[in-house]
Amino acid sequence: MKETLNYDSLLILSTVAFFTPFLVSKLKRIKIPYQVGEIFIGIILGKSFFNIIKPDVWILFLSNLGLAYLMFLSGLTINFDDLKRGEGESLKNSKILLSIKMIVVSLITSICLSFSLKLVGIESGTLFFALLFTAAAPGLLVPILKSKNIISSNFGQSLLIFGIITQLLSLIGVTFISSISLHGLSFKSFTFLIIFAAAILIYFISKFIFKTNDFSAMAFKNLHISVRGAFVLVLILVAIAQKVDSEIILGSFLAGMVFSLLVGKAKEEISHQLDVIGYGFLIPIFFIMVGVNIDLKSIIDNPSAILKIPVFIIIFFLVKFIPCLLLKKKYGTRNVLASSMILTAQLSLVIVGAQMALNLHYINISDYSAFVVTTVITCIIFPILFEKFIVEDSNTVKQVKEEDKIIIREFILGSEWYFGKPLKDCRLPEGCRIFSITRDEEEIMPYANTVLQANDLIILAGIKSAVEETINMLSICNLDLPE
């Protein structure tokens, strides 16, 4: 019997993914991550309420690919230069040593508190949950610290290093414990190390290939060779992880780390292209499906699961608050509270960890749903509390000169207002230059009298703010005419 592809659920998912950002943006008083909005919509459309999305094999495939891509982008956020000591910074006073101290305190605190899970009915997997509770969420941490110009200060770097290392330790730890639970303490329990070996080997081979071949954007014009390479790298390490019966999230996270090392200073531009695919299509499907699979009825029918939610939140908070006390002497009490708040906010890894715990029978479906609800709550409440407590002063904020940041972008002319207009009449923002226009596969060197036409592919470079303003003017189809 021939299997046919049913597009109904995929159509619903795509439509929901498109409209969710508009719905979330309407919540002006409450700033929540768009991913949380996608989980909410998934809950409404899933088994908890209307149950109109049916997770067939193709949707499950896209959801798993979205998860792998999300972990890849998490690994890509790691900037290995951040792990180096600053110029003139002694080891004793370095942000790295401070972060390591915080990690040790966090692990000890988490192990002690995880034993309390036995009091709420979770008897197994104490060490597994101890490692899971230590995890931070760099995917949330990075954009929030960037938005306040905190990320480049010693304060921000300490939090970032803490978040990155705890994410990696937690990921490796839960993968190892999962292997032991499935295979016992045998050779198979250590096969995940093959993924590390493969990642290291791929890095050195890639470095050699890059030295002997030209992979520049000019050599492969409009072919997005870096995006293709990213997918190859992800799928190689995910395939290896699957072959050795390990977690695909470890393979994809390591792929992100390797890719970050390979692309170096070009990472920001390449990340922009990769984000389009990830956050534009694959990752929303994963988060919507997380909501679809949450069974709120199982929580309501099981009062003990409801009681576990505040227990989880308290543990997540204390595991971050106690190590952050090491920051008090240098940054003050309010910033200690702010640090613990932003580090408590969780997202992808806790959701994945809860899925692993469910598969390992450490928890039941109602406990899994309680973990995901906990994650959603931390995403909403703790970033807001961070905003309330953070003290933005010379100790925490490092001013970034936007005018020093030059970026390159390509986009398609979409605003009808500029169709048929010469460049000299467009009154484009200062600080950026149009370098090339591609029209009907023909490259045009632009001059003042060059007339823009619909669907022109434009490449421009300049100051980040001016470039973004120019793209908004020329690419968005709207009726708002410039003054």
Question: Sign of dihedral through CA atoms 255, 257, 263, 269?
Answer: positive
pLDDT at residue 258 in the model:
87
Question: Sign of dihedral through CA atoms 254, 255, 260, 263?
Answer: positive
pLDDT at residue 213 in the model:
65
Average pLDDT along the chain: 80
What does the alpha-carbon distance between residue 94 and residue 101 come to, in Å, rounded to a whole number?
Answer: 11
Chain segment 103-135, per-residue pLDDT in tens: 999 999 999 999 999 888 888 889 999 999 998
CATH of domain 57-389: 1.20.1530.20
Tokens representing 84 are: 């180096």
Q: How far is CA 12 from the centre of its chain?
A: 24
Chain segment 165-183, per-residue pLDDT in tens: 888 888 888 888 888 887 7
The residue behind tokens 């490449």 is 459
Asked if the domains 57-389 and 402-475 are classified in one and the same CATH topology, the answer is no
| Among 458, 467, 466, 479, CA closest to 413 | 458
What does the alpha-carbon distance between residue 172 and residue 208 come to, in Å, rounded to a whole number?
Answer: 28
Question: Sign of dihedral through CA atoms 78, 472, 69, 284?
Answer: positive
Q: How far is CA 178 from the centre of its chain?
A: 23
The residue behind tokens 């022109």 is 456
Query: Which ranges of 360-451 would DSSP assign to H, the alpha helix?
Result: 365-389
Q: How far is CA 99 from the centre of its chain?
A: 21
Question: Per-domain residue ranges for the chain?
Answer: 57-389, 402-475
Chain segment 424-473, per-residue pLDDT in tens: 888 788 778 888 888 887 888 888 888 888 888 888 888 877 887 888 88
DSSP symbols for 217-286: TTTTTTS-HHHHHHHHHHHHHHHHHHHTT--HHHHHHHHHHHHHHHHGGGHHHHHHHHHHHIIIIIHHHH
CATH superfamily name and code, 402-475: Regulator of K+ conductance, C-terminal domain (3.30.70.1450)
Q: Looking at 297-306, 372-381, 403-412, which range is the least confident one? A: 403-412
Would you say 246 and 196 are in contact if contact means Cβ atoms under 8 Å apart? no
Q: How far is CA 431 from the centre of its chain?
A: 30
pLDDT at residue 107 in the model:
93
What does the alpha-carbon distance between residue 304 and residue 317 come to, in Å, rounded to a whole number?
Answer: 21
Reported confidence tier of residue 325, pLDDT bands at 50, 70, 90: very high
Chain segment 8-42, per-residue pLDDT in tens: 778 888 888 888 888 877 776 666 667 778 888 88
Reported confidence tier of residue 321, pLDDT bands at 50, 70, 90: very high
- Is the model's pLDDT at 86 over the cut of 60? no
